Each structure stands twice: as C-alpha cells, then as structure tokens.
Structure 1
C-alpha cells in the first residue's frame, strides 16, 4: 500500500535508526533471530547490542554464533555482502554481545554490560518464555517481571531510552468479540490483580512442590517409575532417572498451578496471564522510561522476508498440522467459522522496527499499543484453513515407515472436552497393552511390537498435550483490532513499506498456506514425503557405516543375547549335567525349571545380585575340569547358539584395527575358549579353594551395570582410547551404562525396554539371527561322558556313589 502523499511521511525507518544503538533481548528465539537479521540487512547504520544468557558450556559469544548467526535466516544477507568472511566481519563491526538474564534482578549485567546498556538509544525486549506449558514460576520471572526489570535497571543507570516491549494479543484473555489496541487495565473486562502477590504466590508454589517432591512416598514412587523404565540399569543411572522423574513432577505441579490460576482469572494459560500482568507491572514501574508495546497474535513462518517460509523450530500450528497429516489427529476443538489469528513473522518484525524508528507515540511516554494480527482485517477461518491443509496433504501425502501414503482423515470440530475424553480412553487402553507386552520376554523383531505400541501411545499422549495446550486458542473468538498497526504502515514510505511492511492485508491465505507455509513445515518436520524404499540410504545403513568407520578406536561387546543366544543358566546347566547320571540330570532340569520365574525376577531387579546368587551353585566344582569341559562346550553349545553376524562383526572391527574387548558377567572358564576373537576379555572370576575347587564366591565386583561402564573407561584409559570414538554392543537395559559411555552405541536383539530407548535416542539397532538350519535341543544339557569318565551326583540322591566327589548343583 502506498503512503498518502497528503500526509507527511515519517523519516524512513533505516534513516531514523541510523547511528542508533539498539539493545535487544530474546535474540536466540524465533522472533528475535528474524529481528536481528532485518536490522542488520535493512538498517545498515544501526549498531546492535544483544543480551544473551550464558550457557553451561559456552560463552555468550559462542552461543550467539551458534544459535543466532549460523541460522539459515542469514543466508540471504551472507550472499548479499559477499560470503561468510564478509558476513562475519559485518557482525563483528555492528554487533556487541553482553551476558545477562532478564529473569535476574539487574538483568545479571556486569559493569561492562551496564555501561553498554546505558549508551543505548532504544531497547527492544522480545525475550519471553513462550511455551504454553511453562512452569508458573518461570513464566512469572520472565514474562511478568522481565519488562519491569529492564525499566528499573534503566532507571538505576539514570537513562531513559525508548523501550519497545513485545507482548501478545492474548493478554485480552478468553473473551469474545472486539479486543482493541488499549492497555490491559483500560479494558472493561480487566480483573484487578496485584501482580506482586502473584509473584510471591508463584515462588511459594515452587517451594511447596519442591518440598513435596522429596517426601518418602513420592521419592519411592519416582524410584519405582525409574526401575519400570530402565530395569536393572545400575544405581547411578536409576538415580539419575529418579531425579529426572522428581524434577518433571515438580514442573508438572507448577504447570498445572499456572493453568488453574490463569483459568480462574479468564486467561487460556500462564503465558497469556503473565504477559498481561507484565504489561500492567511495566506501566506501574516504568518511571521516566517511554514505553511502546507490540502485541503479535500467533506468529508463523515468513510471508516474504528474509525468504518465504522461513521458520525456526515448531510453532503452535506445526505439531497439530503434522499430527493430522500422519493420521493421528482427525479432530480438534475449535469453531469452524471462527478465526485463526496467525501472522507471518516478517510482518511482526516490520512492526517492531517501525515502532522503534517512530519512537514513543505519547508525549508523556505512557505505553502505546500496536497489535499485529490478521483476524480483523484479513481473517482466516478455521474451516478454510483445515480445507486448505487437507487438500494439500491429499495431493502431497506423508508416508509411513512401510512406504505407504497416509490418507488424511476428514477433520471434525467437536468440543474440547469430547476430544480430551476420547484421547484419555485411548491412552488407558494403549498403556495397559504396553504393560502386558513389556512384561513378556520379547527380543529383537518381537520387541518391535512393544516398541510400536509404545510409540503409538506416545503419539496419543502428544495429541492430548496439543489439545490441552492449544485448544483454548483455537476456540478463542476474540477479534484483535489493528487500527494503530494499519496507521503505522500507512505512514511508511513506499521503500519502507517494502523493507519494513506490517500490513496483514497483503497476505493471500491460500497462497501462503499451500505454497509457503506447508512446504516449509514439512521440510522442517523431517517427515517422509515419498514412498521410495531404495532410493535413499536407509538410516540403519548410515549408522552402520559410522560404527565401522576406520576412525573408531575400540569395540566393546556384551556376550549373552548379543553374540550368543545363551545365558549363565544355560552354561551352568550344560556344565553341571556333564557328569551327572540320568536321574540326577532330570532332577537338575526340574529344579532349574521350577526356579526360572524367581531367577528372572532377580535378574530384572539387580544383575549383580542375580550373579552372586546363581554362582553359589559352583561351590565345590573342580576348577580344572570346568576349564576342560568349557572347551567342549564351545563347539557343542556356544557356537551352535552364536549369531554368525555378531562373530563377523567382531572380526570386522579387528580387521579395521579397532581394539576389541569382551565385557561380560559370564565366568572366565566359560569365555576362555572365545579369547582368540578378542584383544581383551573382562569377565567374572571365582575364588579357588586349596583343594582346587571353586568356593562359589566372586573375586571382585562382576562387570554389570555401572561397573561394566567403569571397566570400559579403565580399559580405554589404559590404552589411550577416546571413548567418544568407541562402539558398544549390548542387548538389555542393564547394559545402558555401557551403551551410554560410548559415542556409538548399538542395541543388538534388544529387549522391549532397550528397543524403545534405542529408537528414541537414534541408536543403531541390529537384529542378528542364529545360523539357519540348526535345531538346538530343547534343554541345554550336555551329552553324558563315556563310562570311564567320573560322574558327579546331586547331593541327597538315594544311590550316591561311594567316594565320589560332590559338586553342589542345587540351589
């Protein structure tokens, strides 16, 4: 839209910003990144000071480079200035980064930061916790107190630059009809709330939740949940998971407290509530600082600047759109004829820049309001948006893992309560089925059943979360006035309307949704958009190539159910039955079968305790004979139960020059025949009595759980190996410490729990089969030795042989 020639135009935005120093917060976020890019590209005379919170491992300069300037948002500017080096020189010349945090009094600035802030002409405050499920206390500290902290810090410095505070249209709350560009407390529907008491209450809720989370009952529940998820993963990992559960519980309490408090006051969530109270607090605490407030609606991908469709992260609409395209969501609360008030990010950036260039609108510096929304001037109806999305995904469907196109369902608009009820029922059914499958001893391909079911349950949980978070917004029937916005745009020169335009009427919704937004959403969601099964490299192929790279340094292997389909019980049964008579062999078999359930429970609870308990059975066994018998067991049992692909993998690593190490809880005489395969073997050993028999007691802590990971660290340190370049193969959650210790974990024939974790974490999963054509005996018993060989008998048998040595093979 051209400016009216009869109305004197304001100075061009770039000219007004020339020579100014702008202090900007929130620049690592979606809106902040786009704002920095526009100011650098279209206001070449402006100098930017970016407030960045220090990271745990990175300086603020490193965070700025990594999280702001490496973003593809700056690709256009990089090309325009002549490449990477020229762009870096531009940033070094026009950008200053200071450490600070708007959630801290005084903004956490050091003396240098305060000095830099004091020299700034304009402050643009866009930092916020924008999540709709933020904990109440975090939303209070950042959204409510953040703007006031900036104003108070400026007052302490004795300066009064123009403060442009970014808020949200949803400060109007759950209202219907017109929501004009007025201060929140000027609304006839405003409920007067003391924001200071809300701050105190939020902090008390945090303290109360923290205290409650540490009650014995809750800690026991968190521990039980950790065990249920990780099984016998070892003390440190279970402790870490328990603490994660505790902190998640505290967050949930604070999220629910925020949601409940917001609902009681007429806001959809704590985000909108704290933003509204933040505006009120800023009006009271601003002192002499002139203030302008910019309120965007739902910010989505760019209309044209810096390029059409630019987006960072998943906004509000993207998770719902992708879930619908995947066939997960067929209904969502909302009013079909209602307005979905979305606004492209570049129009919001244009409005912020124009307001900053214009300066305060009121002579007394009191807050002026500019709402950046589309609903009143260029409405997009919910039904129309859904029709556009449905048509687009019908023409461009997503594909499932089997390469089949996903048909999008007919979308319905029931009430929020109905949708939440149906999703809760689905969650209960899937959770019950998941528990049943998780309790079964499923491995490898069978474990994928449980993994697929869990993934489905998580998808339903995710859909339920979307309904809870966004349902209130899709049902919102407020219409946000934009008179000030349109006037702001009209006062711009034609060139500024091109570079800093903010008129929502320019958006052609059909073109935007079909040609700009949806292609961008699909690209950033990294979903499957074709049915090809062989056209692109499979993810497993890429991961396998990484683990077999010649840059790897070590490969660590578990044994049981990783290289062989066997376990310590199987080995014991074979060795113990080697010198038993027929009757005693039957007795041994029956005992082991009867004990199987209790042994499985003990193994699932604590692998180390299980080994200590089970290895007591070797008390009195002759060490020399067991070593001899184990050599025969290699060919008769171990190799017949081995996974040929696993044996080949060990040899592949050795051929690549990787150091191979077997780390297992199996006994030394059982694994001794495998020594030619490995450079080193870490295993369990038992003490030997003076008469040459085993005592049934281990010489040291068996390599299970965290001790297995420690063995890996010790071995790597002894040989100068970087564990980040190591590979580990294992099958159970009890091996998680080992798998997490290396840079390249591989889950082999995983049990259900590990299969699920491996999929979530993006690990390579290998399914190795036993040699085809071999049918092993049902019971892992050895063939009886010849008549000349000595036989051992189970103690208590009615016909003991006179003078025979006894080996206690019973429990």
Structure 2
C-alpha cells in the first residue's frame, strides 16, 4: 500500500489517473474547471470524468458543461493540443450528469446510480455555495446535506479509492494565532459553552420555514428569503463563526468525519483562491474574490477608500497550486483505508503576502499601464485611503453619508415627501454598504496564520527534478508575490472579470 511518505514524481501522479473513473461535483466553478482541465491534459488516458451539474435533463447538462466548462478560455491549450480531434476526445472522456448533491440519490435514477457505484474510483467534492450571506436553508442543503448524500453514495462504490473534499481554511472563522490542520470534532464549536448539533440546526430550519409558510403576509417568499439569510448569520455567530458560508462548511467537515466508514478521505482547505499562476493560462480566473473588489474599484477609480490594514497578511493561494495539491494528495493517500487527512493550501506561514504588497503592485501596474478614458485622455492613478479599524470606517460613514441622509430625511418630511424616492434609494445603498462591512469586515482584519505542516510533509516527498515534476508545484515559497500580482493576477482580473 502506498502512503504519503513514499516519494512522489510526475510519472507516479500521471500514471495514477490512467484508466480511472472520477466523479467531480462543482465542475462549473473556478476550482472545478482547473481540476478537470489538468487531469485531461496530463492524463489523456483517464477512463471517464463524470461531472454532476444542476440541469433538468441530459441534453441540458451536456449544454451546461460545453458552455461553462469546456468552452472557456482555460481549455485553449488542451484544444490546441488535440486540434480537430478535441471535441471527440472530450465526448469520449467527459460524461455530464444531470443531478444535484442536495438530493439523497444525487438527483439520479436508481439504475444510473448503481452503474456509477460499480465504476467510480475517485470522488472529488468541490460543489458549494460560497455566498457569505446565503439563505441558511440553501447553505445547509449544499454545504452540509450535499456532503452526507455524497458520503452515502461513496459507501456504495465497490472500487472507491479516494474521497477528496474541498473545504475552506476559514472554517477556523476569525481566530488569531497559529491554526492547525486538525479535523473538527462532532459537537465542536468556536464559542465556549455551546454544542453544535447539526440535526438540531436542520430541525430549526424546518420549523422556521413551517412558521413562515403559515404567515398571512402578502410576500411570503421575500419575507422567507430575508428571514433565512438572517437566521444563518445569527446561528453562525451564536456558535462563533463570522458568516453562514464558513459555518456550514465547518458543519460539512464534521458530518464527513461522522459518516466515513472505510473510505480514505482528504479534506483540502484553501485560503483565498486567486488566479492561475502557471498553467494552462496565467491570470485566468472566474468570479470575484474578496481582494478583487479592491482591484476592480481601483481600476474604475470609483473606490477612494478601502477597509484594510496594509500591514496585515492576506492569505491567498493561486488556483492552480490548490489543484496541484489536491491531485498529489489524492495519489498519496489513495486506498489508505479509514484515513482522514486535513491539508491547508495556504501561504501565510511559508510565504506571507501583506495587503501593502497588493496595493503597491496595483499602483505599479496602473502607473505602467495607465487607463484611458472614453475621450482618449489618460486617467491618473490616485492613491487610496485605508481604514485600519471598522470603528474608524463607521465614523467616516456617519459623517460623510449618515448625517447628510438624516438632513435629507428631515427636508423630505418638511416638503411632504418630495424627496422620498431619492432618500429611500440612498438609504438602501448606505445600509447595503454597512451590511457588507458587517459580513466581510472580519476577513479584512484576519490575524490568524494557517499551519501547513501536513502539506509541507507532502511537499517534501515531491521530486521536483524535471519540467513535468514542476507541473505539480504547490509550494508558496516559489511565488514572488509582487511579480505575481503585478504581471499575472491584476491583468487577469481586468481581462477575465472586468472584461
């Protein structure tokens, strides 16, 4: 039996995926696409990659995979490598499945599920709802019950060699100090004196939904949506987590620990995932990460201030490095019956990057590549003011926006509602900004440092002698952050997110 301490090189990693059948959830997401592309590129003789996607039927699932996965720029190198035979290669290897992890049978018919159970060698669960302020019922369905349903399916898979689950390093919430790569125990919470009972949380949601459905309100749907969002945030903070996303991801991990029987399990916890650093397409990304709000606002010059302490470390890791770590960990722990290993795919311990590095890289990039306005004039790059505490930001918002809003409210009352529409619009925007700060603020001032000793041990088994070996690099020490942000990540955000 192979163990994590065996030496690892590209030949062993590539060879592992030959003839394997892999089930991947969350393939339409950022990380999922990178994983699918990488496996297909390094091991064209993989047997089948089954992609479970939300769709009403097989043709819709196929169309989704074609448009949202295979048709993206990320697959350009693979398309080039296969030339005219690309589409045939994809059809022989990729099998879209119309289903959903929120259902007990993954939304699949029983005969299909039985066929899959006989064939699957590896399960990779990347599916998640990552919205910090998601409805509590939706988050529980995807991030918790989804794990349960996949585990139940995994137990039916006769050939299963590996269950890879992607979580987040921030299941630690906003704790300070060194955060270790340890599983979360059943009942464990971050708030002293509380016991986290997942079944009780599921019952609570059912009861609240029942009460809401019995309401006489005209807009039950809107009221229910708001109530579920607020319930998620309230329950998360009751147990010591800062938002619904990290809270339910922690519950997903707990459930995974409770349900495993004889399945080798690897939990990968990335920090903030950024654009592809090396291959196949440097700078490629999808969606807006927390730090990218700052880059986009800076690029458009409609953001004069930001919430951050430039001296603090922002734990970021390129998407391709996370996928490389996942792939190597799958191979290392395959067939280790009963094993459960936790890995932090993070950078704060090995090669910390501060917010000042990002800011200075942004300044340099926009100075060397000035933006040009519609009239052809160069837009000057201006500095930004950073609020180093939430209290200072609140004070600024009260002086600059809240007080003028109250004056407008008074004038509106005196003029019999003449400015009602304007006041309501501005007040809504003000409340929205303050809500964003409430939900995202803790991450701007995160003072934890993620221990990655487990992943470092895995890195030490890597040969890294050949170009092929370096294709699986996941060592943050090899990143020059200034160069990465200035030359790769910021141009990537502008090209693929801002279009």
Distance 1:107 1:7 in 2: 35
Distance 1:459 1:523 in 2: 28
Residue matched to 1:383: 356
- Deviations 1:453-499 (Å, cap 9, x if unpaired)? 99988876665454334221121111111122222233234345322
Residue matched to 1:38: 38
Assess if the C-alpha contact under 8 Å between 1:394 and 1:408 holds in 2: no
Q: Secondary structure at the match of 1:184?
A: coil
Distance 2:425 2:43 in 1: 48
Residue matched to 2:52: 51
Assess if the C-alpha contact under 8 Å between 1:318 and 1:521 holds in 2: yes
Q: Secondary structure at the match of 1:124?
A: strand
Distance 1:211 1:66, change over 3 A: farther
Distance 1:399 1:413, change over 3 A: farther
In the alignment, which of 281, 290, 305 is matched to residue 307 of structure 1? 281
* Cα distance, 1:39 vs structure 2: 0.7
Distance 1:473 1:210 in 2: 35
Distance 1:429 1:488, change over 3 A: same
Distance 1:411 1:249, change over 3 A: farther
In the alignment, which of 191, 203, 207 is matched to residue 204 of structure 1? 207
Distance 1:325 1:197 in 2: 46
Q: Secondary structure at the match of 2:97?
A: strand
Distance 2:97 2:205 in 1: 29
Distance 1:396 1:367, change over 3 A: same
Distance 2:68 2:318 in 1: 21
**Residue 2 of structure 2 is aligned to residue 28 of structure 1:** no
* Cα distance, 1:160 vs structure 2: 4.3
Residue matched to 1:253: 227
Alignment of 1:107-256 (within 5 A): 107-110=106-109, 111-156=111-156, 160-185=160-185, 192-212=195-215, 214-216=216-218, 219=219, 247-256=221-230
Q: Secondary structure at the match of 1:371?
A: strand
* Cα distance, 1:248 vs structure 2: 4.4
* Cα distance, 1:402 vs structure 2: 6.6
Q: What is the TM-score with the length of structure 2 in the denominator?
A: 0.86
Q: Secondary structure at the match of 2:293?
A: helix
**Residue 71 of structure 2 is aligned to residue 70 of structure 1:** yes
Distance 2:490 2:365 in 1: 8
Distance 1:330 1:202, change over 3 A: farther
Distance 1:508 1:341, change over 3 A: same
Q: Secondary structure at the match of 2:130?
A: coil
Distance 1:208 1:422 in 2: 40
In the alignment, which of 232, 247, 269 is matched to residue 273 of structure 1? 247
* Cα distance, 1:199 vs structure 2: 1.8
Assess if the C-alpha contact under 8 Å between 1:320 and 1:466 holds in 2: no
Residue matched to 1:60: 61
Distance 2:58 2:248 in 1: 30
Residue matched to 1:470: 440
- Deviations 1:508-563 (Å, cap 9, x if unpaired)? 10001111111111223437xxxxxxxxxxxxxxxxxxxxxxxxxxxxxxxxxxxx
Distance 2:182 2:334 in 1: 15
Distance 1:248 1:382, change over 3 A: farther
Assess if the C-alpha contact under 8 Å between 2:54 and 2:100 holds in 1: yes
Assess if the C-alpha contact under 8 Å between 2:62 and 2:96 holds in 1: yes
* Cα distance, 1:205 vs structure 2: 3.4
* Cα distance, 1:15 vs structure 2: 0.6
Distance 1:249 1:387 in 2: 44
Distance 1:176 1:48, change over 3 A: same
**Any gaps of 5 or more consecutive residues in structure 2?**
none
Q: Secondary structure at the match of 1:201?
A: helix
* Cα distance, 1:118 vs structure 2: 3.3
Residue matched to 1:520: 492
* Cα distance, 1:76 vs structure 2: 1.1
Q: Secondary structure at the match of 2:231?
A: helix
In the alignment, which of 259, 271, 277 is matched to residue 297 of structure 1? 271
Q: Secondary structure at the match of 2:106?
A: helix
- Deviations 1:251-293 (Å, cap 9, x if unpaired)? 2322222122212222121111111111111111122222111
Distance 1:57 1:92 in 2: 14
Distance 1:372 1:461 in 2: 35
In the alignment, which of 323, 332, 347 is matched to residue 358 of structure 1? 332
Residue matched to 1:426: 401
Distance 2:293 2:207 in 1: 33
Distance 1:15 1:421 in 2: 59
- Deviations 1:168-211 (Å, cap 9, x if unpaired)? 10111221010111112298968641111122223333444455
Assess if the C-alpha contact under 8 Å between 2:168 and 2:268 holds in 1: yes
Distance 1:66 1:428 in 2: 48
- Deviations 1:324-355 (Å, cap 9, x if unpaired)? 44344333333332210011000011111112
Distance 1:374 1:126 in 2: 21
Q: Secondary structure at the match of 1:108?
A: coil
Q: What is the TM-score with the length of structure 1 in the denominator?
A: 0.54
Distance 2:284 2:241 in 1: 30
**Residue 70 of structure 2 is aligned to residue 95 of structure 1:** no
- Deviations 1:714-749 (Å, cap 9, x if unpaired)? xxxxxxxxxxxxxxxxxxxxxxxxxxxxxxxxxxxx
* Cα distance, 1:142 vs structure 2: 0.8
Distance 1:77 1:465, change over 3 A: farther
**Any gaps of 5 or more consecutive residues in structure 1?**
1-5, 220-245, 442-449, 528-811
Give the RMSD, CA atoms, in angstroms: 3.3
Distance 1:413 1:422, change over 3 A: closer
Distance 1:53 1:180, change over 3 A: same
Distance 1:7 1:40, change over 3 A: closer
